[in-house]
């Protein structure tokens, strides 16, 4: 159930935001601790017009909220708020257990949510935590941690999967790394998914006239929680269920990737019950990552830097071409086995050949990482006339030359060679100030007016370099075109019947 969090400071704003999301949310949580003044007559009027399920929360400051009164005053207020006849009321796990029984006896029609929040970590013993929270009058258990790594998302998903059939359970991670557990919770049985609304508190980050709140509760509402629009429009959260296939990007960094937008849009167009999320994973986390995904419904992965070579030991089957490349960017999981291929080369060369034929072309390739390997291999398959690879570390370029006919240099040796010209320059080295100056220098020296240039990075970091290259008049190949091509190849590999 998609729940819109309404966290407003005035009754009028609460009414307006609730009305705004009436058609989009499946339920509402009113965070009444945000209100500067709780006015029961006004709240009753708004409640009377609300047709969706309602959760009431009055979070104290000690638990990351804003209510500043004493605990006895808060309890008296909660008792009064029961007159609004909410569907649920949210109590913190630290509450006196006798009060839970007392409230339930007096208001048996109001279901109780018992909540645990940890703003620094995701506890190791989630099962033990749930056991300690058990109470006969509680309807829903809510356990929220903070992701210190992407692996915490997988631990939480396992926890929900193993316990959702025993009780009504909500569990996910907060923090910048916690989005996957929120999006994927519905696949494993988490009963609620919370979304922030476009409230005055979110706007305060953009409007200097509005003073933002900077304590822990504000961070929960503003920074950690995805917007309802994001969950609805990008992740199609209302369609996620136990049969949803999970695909994901693995790499570090992953923030700049548009894969979640592209793949989810294409799954929708194909009518596939699938969702795509992003995991920030380091090399030293791979062993645990592939252990944790067992028994979870992952169907495949995209792989980006710096993992394109590091994931190879975890694969059971690798395409022959991929073995020659020595790097993979696509994994399909079938019957618990990992199958791997590489679509980078085909994606890049397909984009280039919309403008220029690869056959009989002289190609200069900068860099020798995973993507460069795939591009080099595909270029020679398509009968390039010659391939020159230049990399800061000569040994990495020489490793490619062991499998592909090409000439390799480090940058210092290359710059001492007699000047020649190329039909195509493909840049795969990171976009930094120094690297961009070097690429620009080589472009001016080695390309002709009919030559093409491609930079495989499509993030904002490459905009300055692309603007400079464009001014020089060379033909540009759009890196996003490469990305779209290789992503389409990935979908064909994951879902061969679509």
Give me the active site residues, please: 308
Could you tell me which residues are beta bridge partners of residue 67?
A: 60
One DSSP character per residue, 136-156 reads: TT-SEEEEEEE-SSTHHHHHH
Spatial contact of 222 and 201, defined as CB atoms under 8 Å apart: yes
Q: What gap in Å lies between CA 255 and CA 460, rounded to an integer?
A: 12
Q: Answer positive or negative: Cα dihedral of 358, 359, 362, 368.
A: positive
For tokens 């994927």, the residue is: 184
- Strand boundaries in 13-131, DSSP class E: 27-31, 54-57, 88-92, 111-117
Q: Say which residues have a Cβ less than 8 Å from residue 108's Cβ, sequence separation at least 6.
A: none
314 — phi, psi (to 5°)? -95, 5
3 — phi, psi (to 5°)? -110, 125
Nearest to 301 by CA among 459, 461, 154, 478: 154
- Strand boundaries in 313-461, DSSP class E: 317-318, 330-334, 337-341, 362-366, 386-390, 407-409, 422-427, 447-455
Rounded (5°) CA angle 129-130-131: 90
Q: Which residues of 214-230 are buried (b: 16+ CB within 10 A; e: fewer)?
A: eeebbbbbbebbbebeb
Q: What gap in Å lies between CA 390 and CA 410, rounded to an integer?
A: 5
Q: What gap in Å lies between CA 489 and CA 442, rounded to an integer?
A: 32
Nearest to 333 by CA among 298, 303, 308: 298
Nearest to 486 by CA among 366, 362, 333, 327: 327
Could you tell me which residues are beta bridge partners of residue 168?
A: 140
59 — phi, psi (to 5°)? -80, 130
């Amino acid at each position: 159930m998609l729940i819109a969090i309404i966290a407003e400071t005035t009754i009028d704003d609460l009414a307006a935001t609730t009305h705004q999301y009436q058609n989009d949310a499946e339920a509402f949580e009113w965070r009444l601790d945000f209100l500067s003044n709780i006015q029961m007559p006004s709240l009753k009027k708004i409640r009377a017009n609300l047709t969706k399920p309602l959760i009431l929360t009055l979070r104290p400051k000690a638990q990351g909220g804003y209510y500043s009164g004493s605990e006895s005053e808060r309890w008296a207020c909660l008792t009064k708020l029961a007159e609004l006849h909410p569907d649920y009321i949210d109590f913190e796990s630290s509450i006196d257990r006798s009060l839970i029984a007392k409230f339930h006896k007096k208001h048996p029609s109001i279901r109780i949510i018992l909540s645990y929040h940890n703003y620094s970590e995701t506890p190791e013993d989630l099962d033990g935590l749930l056991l300690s929270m058990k109470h006969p009058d509680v309807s829903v258990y809510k356990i929220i941690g903070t992701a210190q790594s992407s692996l915490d998302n997988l631990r939480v998903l396992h926890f929900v999967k193993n316990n959702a059939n025993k009780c009504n359970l909500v569990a996910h991670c907060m923090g910048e790394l916690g989005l996957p557990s929120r999006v994927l919770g519905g696949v494993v049985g988490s009963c609620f998914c919370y979304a922030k609304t476009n409230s005055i508190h979110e706007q305060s980050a953009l409007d200097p006239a509005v003073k933002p709140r900077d304590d822990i509760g504000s961070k929960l509402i503003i920074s950690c929680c995805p917007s309802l629009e994001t969950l609805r429009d990008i992740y199609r959260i209302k369609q996620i269920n136990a049969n949803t296939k999970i695909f994901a990007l693995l790499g570090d960094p992953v923030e700049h990737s548009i894969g979640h937008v592209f793949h989810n849009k294409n799954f929708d167009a194909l009518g596939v019950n699938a969702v795509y999320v992003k995991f920030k994973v380091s090399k030293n986390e791979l062993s645990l990552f592939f252990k944790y995904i067992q028994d979870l419904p992952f169907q495949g992965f995209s792989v980006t830097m710096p993992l394109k070579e590091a994931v190879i030991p975890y694969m059971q089957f690798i395409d022959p071409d991929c073995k020659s490349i020595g790097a993979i960017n696509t994994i399909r999981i079938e019957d618990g086995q990992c199958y791997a291929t590489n679509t980078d080369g085909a994606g890049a060369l397909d984009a280039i050949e919309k403008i220029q034929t690869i056959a009989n072309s002289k190609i200069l390739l900068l860099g020798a990482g995973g993507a460069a390997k795939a591009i080099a291999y595909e270029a020679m398959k398509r009968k390039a006339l010659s391939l020159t690879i230049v990399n800061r570390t000569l040994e990495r370029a020489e490793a490619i030359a062991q499998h592909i006919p090409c000439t390799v240099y480090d940058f210092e040796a290359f710059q001492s060679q007699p000047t020649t010209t190329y039909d195509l320059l493909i840049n795969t080295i990171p976009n930094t100030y120094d690297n961009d100056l070097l690429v620009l220098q080589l472009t001016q020296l080695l390309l002709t007016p009919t030559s093409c240039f491609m930079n495989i990075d499509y993030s904002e970091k490459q905009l300055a370099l692309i603007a400079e290259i464009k001014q020089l008049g060379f033909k540009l190949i759009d890196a996003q075109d490469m990305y779209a091509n290789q992503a389409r190849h990935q979908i064909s590999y994951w879902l061969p019947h679509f």
